[in-house]
Amino acid sequence: MTAKIATATGAQHAALLGLGSYRPSRVVTNAEICEHIDSTDEWIRTRSGIIERRFSEPHETVQMMSVAASRTALERADIHPAQIDCVLVATVSHLWQTPAIAPLISAELGSTPAAAFDISAACAGFCYGVTMGADMVRSGTAKYVLVIGVERLSDITDPTDRGTAFIFADGAGAAVIGPSDVEGIGPVVWGADGEKFDFIRQKQSWIDVLALERAVMPHLQMEGNPVFRWASFEMAKVAQEALDRAGLTVDDLDVFVPHQANMRITDAMARALKLPERVVIARDIAYQGNTSAASVPLAATALLESGEAKSGQTALFIAFGAGLAYAAQVVTLP
């Protein structure tokens, strides 16, 4: 007779319990970017909405920024690092093929032996992680999950590439997810379109780099305009579906936190969703640039810290990027 295996059971509901972020110290102006590419401050501002961005100093490593953001999130959640059962790190700029950075971060925080692994879903990675964390809490796989979005894109961006040099930047954001009396993380709408794999990618594989006469850093490259059009048209539909699946409408929303890819994409989505005037829209890109997996938690934390958004409010998260991978969910802000 086949042995009867017990089924894991968890909390009925999951929620974000705390958010934190880390912004690197070095401010990089558009003028500095234009020292290396044929562009202007005005072009960058009007085409992307970026006024300045942050690049990490050498000591502001992926690990250091993640630990700093996580400590803030844990403190705000009132959860001790030892209570964390799983650490998920969304990043594309931890430049080791193996091991993942998550176990190192977990060890530095004092969360060992929590399960720990990285998520490679580029800009969508944090929103992928929020869904995975919530599912773990509800299934009983973990009681508390730490989800981190972190990037040092300045390491893998070619400062002389006109298509990407002005966009990408560095930073970290973190969220603690745990059990809740009421639902705080709505059903996800997520997906990926591998037919557009080439739209944003590392220029060469590591094997290709070895075959070169002189090794180079395989920088990021992006088909900016096709990505722009895809994001502006398709992502509003994904955001609307996340609202529908949560059983809500734009009238229930207080805050909109889209991936900080381009201010014009944010505006296009807000128009397509017909967001009421009173909905607070995250516009962190102006002073932070596009930080890929870190952008949603950085932007959400900034709104809470400035008082523009408040704990208990309903927010719509949506993120999209290389893959092309995307994810959206409605959450209650911690």
- Closest approach of ligand UT7 to the CB of residue 98, in Å: 25
Pairing verdict, β 314-321 and 255-258? parallel
Tokens of 46: 């009007």
- Maximum C-alpha span of the chain: 73
Sign of CA dihedral 300, 303, 309, 312: positive
Question: What is the C-alpha to C-alpha distance for residues 208 and 219, in angstroms, rounded to an integer?
Answer: 13
Binding to ligand UT7 by residue 47, rule CB under 6 A? yes
Position among 18, 103, 297, 321 found at the interface with ligand UT7 (CB under 6 A): 321
Minimal distance in Å, beta carbon 107 to ligand UT7?
A: 30
The residue (of 144 and 320) whose beta carbon lies closer to ligand UT7 is 320
Note whether 148 binds ligand UT7 by CB under 6 A.
no
Under rule CB under 6 A, residue 159 binds ligand UT7: no
Of 231, 239, 296, 300, the one binding ligand UT7 by CB under 6 A: 231
**Which residue among 10, 39, 71, 120 contacts ligand UT7 (CB under 6 A)?**
39
Pick from 12, 25, 225, 249: which binds ligand UT7 (CB under 6 A)? 225
Tell me 280's DSSP state.
Answer: E
What phi and psi values does residue 221 have, to the nearest 5 degrees?
-135, 150
119 touching ligand UT7, by CB under 6 A: no
Indicate the residue among 40 and 311 with the shorter CB distance to ligand UT7: 40
Give the x/- contact pattern for ligand UT7 in 271-290, rule: CB under 6 A: -------------------x
Which of 123, 127, 219, 262 is labelled catalytic?
A: 123
Query: Does 261 interact with ligand UT7 (rule: CB under 6 A)?
Result: yes
Q: How many CB atoms lie within 10 A of CB 278?
A: 8
Give the span between the Cα atoms of 241 and 193, in whole angstroms: 17
Give yes or no for a contact between 70 and 20, defined as CB atoms under 8 angstroms apart. yes
Q: Which helix (H) or strand (E) holds 129?
A: helix 125-139
Cβ–Cβ contacts within 10 Å for residue 255, how many? 22
By CB under 6 A, residue 228 contacts ligand UT7: yes
d(CA 318, CA 83): 28
Q: Does 232 bind ligand UT7 (CB under 6 A)?
A: no
Dist. CA 255–CA 313, nearest whole Å: 7
Out of 86, 127, 259, 262, the active site residue is: 259
**Could you say which of 89, 119, 121, 123 contacts ligand UT7 (CB under 6 A)?**
123
Q: How far apart are CA 235 and CA 241, in angstroms?
A: 10
Helices (H) and strands (E) in the chain, counts: 10, 14
Q: Any catalytic annotation for residue 30?
A: no
**Of 22-30, 106-114, 158-166, 177-185: span binding ligand UT7 (CB under 6 A):** 158-166
Per the annotation, the verdict on 123 as an active-site residue is: yes
The correct pick among 26, 117, 224, 267 for binding ligand UT7 (CB under 6 A) is 224
Shorter beta-carbon distance to ligand UT7: residue 100 or 231: 231
Whether the bond into 99 is cis, omega within 30 of 0: yes
Three-state secondary-structure class, residue 281: strand
Task: Decide if residue 80 touches ligand UT7 (CB under 6 A).
Answer: no
Number of Cβ within 10 Å of residue 306's Cβ equals 9
Query: Tokens at residue 1, please?
Result: 């007779």
Smallest gap from Cβ 109 to ligand UT7, in A, equals 27
Q: Does 253 bind ligand UT7 (CB under 6 A)?
A: no
Active site residue 290: yes
- Binding interface with ligand UT7 (CB under 6 A): 37, 39, 43, 47-48, 123, 162-163, 166-167, 200, 224-225, 227-228, 231, 261-262, 265, 290, 292, 321
- Catalytic residue positions, numbered: 123, 259, 290
